[in-house]
Amino acid sequence: MGNHQSFVNRLQNYSLRLRDFFFPPRLEEAEILRVHQIRASTSIRRFVTNDTDCVQPEGFHNFPIVVMNILIEPHLSGSHALFIDTITKIIPSVTVLSLTGKKWHWASRVGALYFVHKVPPGDQIKTLFVTSVFNLSELVGMRPDLNITKKIIYFHENQLVYPIRKSRGERDFQYGYNQIISCLTADLIYFNSRFNMNSFISHIPSYLNVVPGIQFDSEEITKIVIAKSSVLYFPIDTAVPDLLEVVRKDVLQIVWPHRWEHDKNPELFFETLFNLKDNGCKFSVSVLGESTNDIPPIFKEAETKLNEEILHFGYLPSKEEYNRVLLNADVVVSTADHEFFGVSVIEAIIRGCYPLCPNRLVYPEYLGSSHLYSTPQQLFKKLRHACNNLASFRKATIDCNLELFYNVKEQYLKIFE
């Protein structure tokens, strides 16, 4: 009888923990931080709180008994890599666990299993910070000791509205679904822009509605996500490099500093330049950004047709050379079909480039209307005007709310303090 009662008590205790995990009490952010600080300071090496029969999993015995901040990035490339580099400079004590930037689809699918034994015990972690490529819910499902840890997910982009190429057919439902359930698992959710946050939250119901034969409580799920969510801008360096000489040519210098991929719509950019050239406009162009094995064919065509106008064509690994190109350019152009923040555009603005961007996505969040275009023809006209009125164009004031990105580093310090 005693053994039976002990089993029942343990089962009830386990059920209560499951309830608290899936339906956590609504806490204010400050209260969440306080609770986790208490847990981190009072916990000892145990696998699940108040369960004396649970032991530490195999492979954990080599971790020192310290409280640390862990940051997981399964896609260490591009702006994700810049983010990690910046965070480690702001908070050197952060321990980064990462995979390379190759094959992000696979990294997203299997990342939790890869890191399951690389993440220290939950009572030794003060903050577990992951990016939205990572499936946080899978990790916590395999590692219930992480229930006691403060868990944060940061969205560089969201898969609910990420554009898909027509040639690839339907959207892979799993990636967006993983992000939704990871939000339910996290204690705090941060987005790198208001556009990113609003587009994700507003599309949760329609995204889940595509599942045949199952009716989710989308309203309740959305409310839970909203309660945890806020905007935390990318920690971009707003200081202007002062070590390089600015050399302006007597023609408009255009820069396109984006990934060489279809979602950046390079076809629109190059077709606009072809049109400018056909209309007798004089300009030079630098086409920067990282490329993959799947380079859109338009780049090959542009390299031939714009041979006389091209100053740079390809990725610049040197930060000094990259800064030099931006400092000498007049205008930075975005033709993106997808952009949740726009690191390269903001870097160019800080270095004096006049931005021309689509009147949608994240850009209206920090750019004035004079920098936005709604149609390809409007982009062409703005660039043609700049070519034909170069002197006055170079005196134009840039209307960008850079104040949004001031003091961001202090916000990150508060998260990890």
The band of 297, judged by pLDDT with boundaries at 50, 70 and 90, is very high
> Is the CB of residue 121 less than 8 Å from the CB of residue 47?
yes
Average pLDDT of the residues of the chain? 85
Residue 31 has pLDDT above 50, yes or no: no
The band of 412, judged by pLDDT with boundaries at 50, 70 and 90, is very high
> Which span out of 188-202, 245-259, 284-298 was modeled with the highest average pLDDT?
188-202
Burial category of 349 from C-beta neighbours within 10 Å (exposed 0-12, middle 13-18, buried 19 and up)? buried
CA distance 386 to 371: 12
Residue 47 has pLDDT above 80, yes or no: no
Residue 46 has pLDDT above 60, yes or no: no
pLDDT at 309: 97
Residue 324 has pLDDT above 70, yes or no: yes
pLDDT at 177: 96
Helix (H, G, I), strand (E, B) or coil at 178: helix
pLDDT at 9: 56
pLDDT at 102: 76
pLDDT at 78: 83
> Which span out of 40-49, 102-111, 236-245, 406-415 was modeled with the highest average pLDDT?
406-415
Percent of the chain whose predicted confidence (pLDDT) is above 70: 82
What is each CA distance from 57 to 81, 98, 120, 247, in whole angstroms?
31, 22, 10, 60
The band of 339, judged by pLDDT with boundaries at 50, 70 and 90, is very high
Q: Is the dihedral of CA 362, 377, 289, 323 positive or negative?
A: negative
Residue 23 has pLDDT above 80, yes or no: no
Give per-residue pLDDT as tens, 189-208.
Answer: 999 999 999 999 999 999 99
CA distance 375 to 384: 14
Percent of the chain whose predicted confidence (pLDDT) is above 90: 71
Instruction: Choose between 357 and 34: higher pLDDT.
Output: 357
Q: What is the pTM of this model?
A: 0.82
Give per-residue pLDDT as tens, 54-96.
Answer: 334 444 445 555 679 999 999 888 889 999 999 999 999 899 9
Give per-residue pLDDT as tens, 98-156.
Answer: 998 778 789 889 999 999 999 999 999 999 999 999 999 999 999 999 999 999 999 99
